[in-house]
Structure formats: structure tokens, C-alpha cells
Amino acid sequence: MTDEAIILALTGGGPHQTAALRRLYQKKGREFGRFFVAKGLSHADADDVLQETMLKVLKQVGTFRSDGSLNSWLWQIARNTLIDFQRQKMRSTEDTLDDDQWLAAEANPAMQTTDPTRPAKSVDDCVTKGLAKFASKDPERAYALELVIEGVDGKEIADRLGRTETATRQYLTQSRKHIAPFIQDCLQLLAA
Amino acid sequence: MTEKTEDEKWLDALAASADQPSSKTELEAGVIRASLLQTINSRPIYEPSESGFQRLLSDARQQRLIYPKKSPSRLQGVINAVYEFLATPACVMASVTLIVGLSVTAGWQADQLHDTEAETVRGGSSAGQISQVVPSPQAAAAAWQKEFLEAGVTHAVSFETQGRILIRIKLSAAAIDLLASKRIQPPAGEWCTLVIESEKVKP
């Protein structure tokens, strides 16, 4: 099913509309859901954001310009929906936690991705811990690097990040410098 | 072609692991790649569920984002809706009922009019009168009635007695023409009464 056919079916109503929505949900739902989880959402929250994303797609499908990329447009909606969700969640968390609770939450090991006091057993262990910390600080970049490792092409990564291909290439190459502080000690072990 | 920077080489090595890392950059990228692959593989895969899709459908229907059929333009939609309604058995039945109803009502009104006119005749209208003496008033009245109907002349028949029949006639152009064709000069006024009497009764 081409992009044009999907858009036509989504705006047309009837059984074709439901079929197109199912196809889109199955195809993009997996990618969106994984993106949401990579950005720190639980599976239950990812379900909710996916639901909201698909509803927005249906609401806004009439505004899609045929000369644009459907994939970029869909990812833009997914990213914006995630941002809205995270802002809303942050507001509700701030409303429910007082200062003491914030301190307690920060001290809670369950809320930390790594335990910095635990010594690394090996270079690999050290790198894994460092990258986990990096991912919690910069989940989008970590997600982008995962896509590179999985062999996703530059255009697709650019669509998902909402950047141009050139900007995405630059963003990815700069990642080495961003990761370095988190694995510096590990690399010294590697050199040794 | 410009030579690749170390960061670009690092990215290339991250995308495709070298079997034999030949540089510090490739070695570093290889370690990071292995670590990230381990993270990816250990993470539960996100799969959109059928129940999630059903929930989406339900919400979309509730918000009227899913239509039962193709949505035409507003004008076309109205036209189609009218055609569809007209074609329904309910509408056909309703139309038949309406036409029959109107016919019955019109007939009732005509009868009412005739009765009223007959009452007026019985009450002694001041309108002009045409008299006719015939052997059989009933046969003559039937003949007149037939001609009035064919010419579209509004009239009302009143059987006053067995030997005397009154026909109240509205003196329309058609009525005047009909009377003229029989060499009868209609009286002045809007209405007149044709009095048909039996020769036996007439003194």
C-alpha cells in the first residue's frame, strides 16, 4: 500500500479506512512504541501515547500535504505527542511530590540506571554501565545510535528525529564526543 | 573527495563492526556497538496489541474520526441523502399515503362544497334560475351532470323531490359556453340554479 493510498483510505471512510488504520497501526505502532520506550516510557504509557498518536493522525490527515513525506509527517506527530505526554506527566509528578519526596526519589536506586559505587568487572561491563548512564541523560541520541547499529538508513533516522539527513549525519558523528565522558575510564582500561 | 574525520570513521565502524579492528577508533566503536547490541537484545520488544487497536477504533468512532462509508462533499451528500430517502420503501409508502390523503380530503371538501351549495339552493338563493321541464328529471339531471363534469363546470346536485331536481352551477366561462351551445342564456351573477322539473308535476 503506497503512502497516497493510505492517506486516501484514511480520509475516505468505510471499510478501507479501518483497513488502512489497522495497517498503519501495525506498521508504525511497533516503531513508535519502541521509540517511546527508548525515551523512558513504560509499555503501558507507550500504549497510551501510541493510541493518542494514531488519533491525532486521523484528526490531522486532512492537513497532510501530498508533496511531503508521509513518514516524516507521522514521526512528527509521534514526537509531538510524546513531548505533550512527558510535559503532562512531569506536571502531575511535580504536583504530587513535595521536596522531601523528591530527595527520597533521587536517592532511590530503582530510579537510577546505573550504580556508580559498584566497581566494573570488565571493559564491557564498564562500557555498558557508562552507556546506560548516557542513555538516561540523552535518550534521543542513544536511540539514534541504536538505529545506526540496526542498519536503519540515514533518511529513516532523519525522519524519526525530525532532522534533515545532513543534520542527522552531523548529529550522529558528534555522538562520539557526547559519549566520551561516560566511558572515558573504560577506554583507558581498553588501552591498557 | 575529502578524507573522513575520525568521528566519521567511528560512526562507520559503529554501523558495521570490523572483524579485525585496525585502529583505536574502530576498537572503541566495536566495544560500544557490542554493548548497545546487548542492550537492544535484552530489552523487551514492543508490539502493538490487537486490544490496543480495538480501543483505538472505539475511541476513533466515538470522536467520529471513523466514518461508516465514504464521505462525499456536503452538497453531494445532501443530494445523495435525499435520493436515498426517496428510494426507501417508507418514503414511497408515505408518498402514496399523502396523495391518497390529499385526494380524500379534496373529495371531502368538494362534497362539503356541494352540500353547502345544495343547502343554499334549498334555502332559496337569490341567484338566477334556469328552468327545464322534461319527462324524466332524473335522466336529464344525469345528462347535465355528465356534461358539467366533462366541461369542468363546478356544480352541485340536489334532489329536492322526486319530480324536481336542482343543479347549482358556478357560471364560469366553461359553464357559460356549455349553456350557450344549448342556446340557453345564463342569468347574471356568479351562480345560477338549473331547475329540472317533471312534466307530470309541472301544472
For A141-153, the pLDDT digits (tens) are 999 999 999 999 9
Q: Where are the domains of chain B?
A: 6-42, 127-198
Where residue B115 falls among pLDDT bands split at 50, 70, 90?
A: very low
Select the residue of A13, A55, A131 nearest B35 (Cβ to Cβ). A131
**Is A177 a residue whose pLDDT tops 60?**
yes
Residues A79-93: pLDDT tens digits? Answer: 999 999 999 888 877
Q: Complex ipTM, two decimals?
A: 0.76
Residues B87-113: pLDDT tens digits? Answer: 555 545 554 444 444 444 444 333 333
C-alpha cell at A89: 506527566
| Mean pLDDT, chain B, whole residue set | 74
User: What value, to the nearest 5°, has the Cα angle with vertex B117 and ends B112 and B121?
Assistant: 145
Say yes or no: B71 contacts chain A, CB-CB below 8 A. Answer: yes
Look at phi and psi of residue A95 and say left if phi exceeds 0, alpha if psi is from -120 to 50, else beta.
Answer: alpha
Q: Where are the domains of chain A?
A: 3-91, 106-191
**Is B125 a residue whose pLDDT tops 50?**
no
Interface probe with A: pick from B10, B11, B35, B70, most Cβ of A within 10 Å: B35
**Is B118 a residue whose pLDDT tops 60?**
no
| Interchain proximity A14–B69, CB inside 8 Å | yes
**Is A107 a residue whose pLDDT tops 80?**
no
| Interchain proximity B49–A47, CB inside 8 Å | yes
pLDDT at A108: 45
Helix, strand, coil shares of chain A, percent, nearest 5, are: 80, 0, 20
Separation in Å, CA of B92 to nearest CA in chain A: 28
| Interchain proximity B60–A55, CB inside 8 Å | yes
Where residue A8 falls among pLDDT bands split at 50, 70, 90?
A: confident
Residue with cell 559519549: A179
Sign for the CA dihedral angle at B30, B36, B40, B43 comes to: positive
Sign for the CA dihedral angle at A72, A73, A74, A76 comes to: positive
Query: How far is Cα A84 from Cα A88, in angstroms, rounded to an integer?
Result: 6
Query: In percent, how much of chain B has pLDDT > 90?
Result: 16
Secondary structure (H, E, C), A7-61: HHHHHHCHHHHHHHHHHHHHHHHHHHHHHHHHCCCCHHHHHHHHHHHHHHHHHHH
Where residue B152 falls among pLDDT bands split at 50, 70, 90?
A: confident
- Determine the residue of chain A that is closest to B38 in CA distance: A128
Where residue B82 falls among pLDDT bands split at 50, 70, 90?
A: low
Say yes or no: B34 contacts chain A, CB-CB below 8 A. Answer: yes
142-181 in B: which are within 8 Å (CB) of A?
none
Match domain A3-91 to its CATH number in 1.10.1740.10, 2.20.25.90, 1.25.40.10, 3.40.640.10. 1.10.1740.10
Residues B159-179: pLDDT tens digits? Answer: 666 678 888 888 888 888 888
**Is B10 a residue whose pLDDT tops 50?**
yes
The mean-pLDDT minimum among A32-41, A90-99, B78-87, B88-97 falls in B88-97
| Interchain proximity B46–A124, CB inside 8 Å | no
Select the residue of B34, B35, B59 nearest A55 (Cβ to Cβ). B59
State the DSSP code for B189: S
Select the residue of B10, B40, B45 nearest A176 (Cβ to Cβ). B10
How far CA B200 is from CA of A105, B163, B176, in Å, comes to 125, 8, 29
Residue A73 and residue A60 in contact, taking contact as beta carbons nearer than 8 Å = no
Select the residue of A17, A25, A191 nearest B66 (Cβ to Cβ). A17
- Average pLDDT for B122-142: 73
Separation in Å, CA of A176 to nearest CA in chain B: 7
Say yes or no: B81 contacts chain A, CB-CB below 8 A. Answer: no
Query: How far is Cα A34 from Cα B43, in angstroms, rounded to an integer?
Result: 10
Query: How far is Cα B122 from Cα B37, in angstroms, rounded to an integer?
Result: 112
Query: How far is Cα A175 from Cα A147, in angstroms, rounded to an integer?
Result: 13
Query: How far is Cα A10 from Cα A161, in angstroms, rounded to an integer?
Result: 25
| Mean pLDDT, chain A, whole residue set | 85
Say yes or no: B76 contacts chain A, CB-CB below 8 A. Answer: no
pLDDT at B198: 83
| Interchain proximity B40–A150, CB inside 8 Å | yes
**Is A29 a residue whose pLDDT tops 90?**
yes
> B161: which strand partners?
B164
